[in-house]
Structure 1
């Protein structure tokens, strides 16, 4: 069961929204269909006559499409043929994107009054725009600057000299430590820590000494950060999360990491210090990046891969051993250890036979 929408709209109004947002291909609906009121959203399987869903033509979901009872389905030409007769649909080129745009309108956060809650502790030197909202038990440090329409949710901590841009939202219990910069329209989920010290250590006669971390965290505009993700401040230079980056839950971003515009990182990934991710990259769940390496633009790493070298060409990269039965896994692991010896033997045989390997084989 989906949560209630904050507003409702007719099918005709939704068609107008999509047309205004340049969603090519939306078709006109019959007058009786245009008046149908949509009060929420749900999956194809669960949607009712007052809810909107979407179908992208994927054959794996065709059975759900043919039996849906949704009041409105956003689909494409490929998916339209699978919908039952009588189900109202709007045909668009990108159904999932159109669905997201509709959800943004139906589930828009209600306007909340600006102001500072009586229980908030705000340093007298901090600057808070009159249109911002500061909720209960928030702490804001000296010299902090909170921009227009910012919402800082319950229990958040904002350190000294932090800057937060227009319409950014810290949902609850977010910690933003000293000197961090956050751009406009960011959404930061509960439990996020921004600006904690990086893992900087030096050996002193067998004893680890902490190296002070004196860089900042700089976050661009339109960045989303998932729950309990941590972003360390730079050791000397800044840790930088560029415009449009999307970070999932439970991600560790170490000091001096740089993530380029519109890249996305899935949950439980770990980016070691001074690694650099290009623009429009994706890192799957559980990916690990070793330190001091670079990924070019448009590099895509599949889940659970360990990246130990820089990647200079766009493309999709994978690593790791897929799940297998324990017996076969042990057998293959034992054979893997013999690969180097087998390769040497093959090369010796090729040399004796005068068979020259191709450059790809030789590498």
Structure 2
């Protein structure tokens, strides 16, 4: 694809040779003459002097060296993402049901159901839905047009998934939430989980991510939410539109997360909390109380040598005693000043 054709579709200002041929995307340090790359952080400006890329996407206000083509735009990384979609569109899928699949509901002719998949009774599938090999869609579930399930996805009964979603391999949507009451003798009594999982449009669910159904109310994932791999979302959680959550995050039950939030990898959020819109939670942070105001929140310790950590933690264990001694010394000082 020529660079001027890309600019004609995506906008931006083209500097350099309009007929530069672009075949792939690559980082600045490894790109070749037929590759396009991007520079989003000005501190890597020197890489423009050495890159062999045929074209580079750069931000406004930068004066790039001569000798190659440039696309000048407001947001280079976003523009790069658009170019990636342009060069690597999703393959078109032909409708049809594999002979090794089981389908017990009427479905549109444009739907593809691959080998080993199972579509139960009373399921409603929109146009151009893809049900990957070995996937299971439980009775009474609804999946909107254009949504694609990869291999071995499990959708429990009565779940609702919107249009143009991507559900990756091994994801489990609608399993029972972790709900139990305890007998006096210690035995656990299971509480039936009678809610659903309701997922909006344009949602992506990563591989092996699990989203539990609600206990009585629904677990709700808003439009445009992006979930990485191996995330656990417990029963009755509500996640607002366009929030992104990185891998290995655990969200306990009945927590409400606002719109446009970003949750870093391996963060943990305990149950029954409220998190405002536009909150950023840093990787590895444990959120133990509600966050009422937009901003960036971090609560973790930096990596250090084990011996240093043991020594510093031993000091932390004595903080209460140290505080009591300081208060006692302050009282003595106050008495001394008063007597003088």
Q: TM-score range by the shorter chain?
A: over 0.9
Q: In the alignment, which residue of structure 1 is the partner of 2:97?
A: 116
1:37 counterpart SS class: coil
Q: Which of 300, 303, 306 pairs up with 1:326?
A: 306
SS in 2 for 1:89: strand
Take 2:280 and 2:30, find their aligned partners in 1: how far apart are those partners? 33
Could you say which residue in structure 2 is the equivalent of 1:360?
none
Alignment match of 1:222 (pick from 173, 195, 202): 202
Find out whether 1:40 has 2:24 as its counterpart. Answer: yes
For residue 72 of structure 1, the aligned residue among 55, 70, 86 is: 55
SS at match of 1:34: coil
CA distance in 1 between counterparts of 2:333 and 2:148 reads: 69
Alpha carbons of 1:152 and 1:269: their partners in 2 closer, same or farther (altered >3 Å)? same
Q: Which residue is equivalent to 1:297?
A: 277
Asked if the contact 2:118–2:135 (Cα under 8 Å) also holds between the matched residues in 1, the reply is yes
Aligned to 1:359: none
Offset of 1:29 from its aligned partner?
4.2
Q: Is the 8 A contact 1:158 1:177 kept in 2?
A: yes
Pairing partner for 1:15 from 4, 7, 24: 7
Partner of 1:62: 45
**Residues matched between the structures, number:** 334
Determine the structure 2 residue equivalent to 1:266: 246
- TM superposition shift of 1:40: 1.3
Moved segments of 4+, more than 4 Å: 347-354
Q: Which residue of 260, 284, 297 corresponds with 2:264?
A: 284
Matching residue of 2:177: 198
Question: Is residue 211 from structure 1 mapped to residue 191 from structure 2 by the alignment?
Answer: yes
Contact 2:221 2:238 (C-alpha < 8 Å) held by counterparts? yes
Secondary structure of the corresponding residue to residue 323 of structure 2: helix
- What are the ranges of 5 or more consecutive residues in structure 2 without an aligned counterpart? 335-340
- In structure 2, relative to structure 1, the CA distance for the partners of 1:142 and 1:47 (3 Å cut) is same
Residues 165 and 203, structure 2, Cα contact 8 Å, conserved in 1: yes
> C-alpha displacement at 1:172, in angstroms?
1.4
Q: Report the CA distance between 1:322 and its aligned residue.
A: 1.3
> How far apart are the structure 2 equivalents of 1:333 and 1:113?
61
Q: Secondary structure at the match of 1:12?
A: helix
So what's the TM-score if we normalise by structure 1? 0.88
- The 1:197–1:29 alpha-carbon spacing in structure 2 relative to 1, beyond 3 Å, is same
Picking from 160, 167, 180, the partner of 2:146 is: 167
Residue in 2 aligned with 1:361? none
Q: 1:340 to 1:80 in 2, by over 3 A?
A: farther
Aligned to 2:338: none
Q: 1:141 aligns with which of 92, 116, 120?
A: 120
Residue 319 of structure 1 deviates from its aligned partner by 1.0
Q: Distance in 1 between matches of 2:90 and 2:320?
A: 59
Q: Could you tell me whether the CA contact under 8 Å between 1:148 and 1:167 is conserved in 2?
A: yes
Partner residue in 1 for 2:13: 27
Q: Aligned pair in 2 of structure 1 residues 171, 79: CA closer, same or farther (>3 Å)?
A: farther
**Unaligned ranges ≥5, structure 1:** 1-8, 20-25, 355-363
Distance 2:33 2:175 in 1: 49
Residue in structure 1 matching 2:81, options 100, 123, 126: 100
**Aligned partner (choices 214, 230, 252) of residue 232 of structure 2:** 252
Q: Does 1:310 align with 2:290?
A: yes
- 1:282, 1:184 → 2: CA distance? 23
The structural deviation recorded for 1:349 is 4.6
Q: 1:80 to 1:186 in 2, by over 3 A?
A: farther
CA 1:93–1:258: 2 relative to 1, 3 Å: same
* Distance (whole Å) between structure 2 residues aligned to residue 342 and residue 91 of structure 1: 59
**Residue equivalent to 2:318:** 338
